[in-house]
Amino acid sequence: MQTRKLGRSNLEVSALGLGCMGMSFSYGAPKDKNEMIALIRAAVDRGVTFFDTAEVYGPFTNEELLGEALAPVRDKVVIATKFGFRMKPDGSPGWQGLDSRPEHIAQVVEGSLQRLRTDVIDLYYQHRVDPEVPIEEVAGAVKRLIEAGKVKHFGLSEPGVETIRRAHAVQPVAAVQNEYSLWWRKPEAEVIPTLEELGIGLVPYSPLGKGFLTGKMDEKTKLGGNDFRSTLPRFTPEAMKANGVLVELLRSIAARKNATPAQIALAWLLEQKPWIAPIPGTTKLERLEENLGAAAIELSAAELREIDEAAAKIQIVGARYPEHIEAMTGR
């Protein structure tokens, strides 16, 4: 597995990481813990060094899973987790609201360290920008954690460009985590140019469109009520049928390259910038191996141009999130 540096931060990670959220949260019932530990360790064996989790995934159980799975190889991997939500008092899934007050950050980092079985978090993201707390205060709180040796690098998830600039002026931002894929290209307008200017890495989540770009879903796919995609406008049967044209584009390129649609979608992302490290998630070993195979696929300038020209003619149907969730992004 090739490695990449996230911007000018010197934080080196595998070109493809592993997003672990779906093992415990959002995509139906939590998966078997022992099976997921085996999968995470299989990823390590295959050269993955970059693992993504968050306090809110579960809540807490995903960090615990990752901590147990990676404890034997802690010195060989990069663990990213996130803060910024106020959990429900009863510990049930979901959250009560945003909370990035410095005193809250100082408190919750201790729980994350304990669950992850580590004395330092490699990359600590603000999960969503809290409009009630100036970003300078958030950056200052993480700066103090870095000075205390509890965190190595500061990250932001789904921020707007002014937030990125203001935070970076207080504590250099190593990475921004945004949704980015062939069916969500909004970061190209402002975020990616800003990251390039400031020397910040990009970690695309949902690089396979929450599974849609794998070609394994269509309008006949039934999503359970405990699968959060069932609440997303982009996953209605009508939207999936209309958006199938994008999958057909990937399928046509894949046929020529002896690859799969998912591999082409990931290879396309890797070709965009050398400081981009996507974190596709999976709960299956065969999908993990398929995803990692994307790192070996080279797309020529002509092929990239062909994909871009064809994709530019495709009108993606459906919002990516309901309005109340989308309102928490790009602040």
State the number of CA atoms in the 13 A half-sphere of 294 facing the CB: 31
Among 27, 57, 180, 205, the one annotated catalytic = 57
39: tokens are 């999968």
Nearest-angstrom CA–CA distance, 130 and 159: 10
Rounded CA-CA distance 156/126 in Å is: 5
At a CB cut-off of 8 Å and minimum separation 6, what does 68 contact? 37, 117
Query: What phi, psi does 103 have (nearest 5°)?
Result: -65, -30
By C-alpha distance, which of 245, 223, 246 is closest to 235? 223
Measure the CA–CA gap between 234 and 243, rounded to whole angstroms.
Answer: 9
14 neighbors 2 (Cβ within 8 angstroms): yes
CA distances from 49 to 28, 264, 279 (A): 26, 22, 11
Q: How far apart are CA 170 and CA 4, in angstroms?
A: 25
Determine whether 125 is an active site residue. no
Place of tokens 């790192």: 295
Active site residues: 57
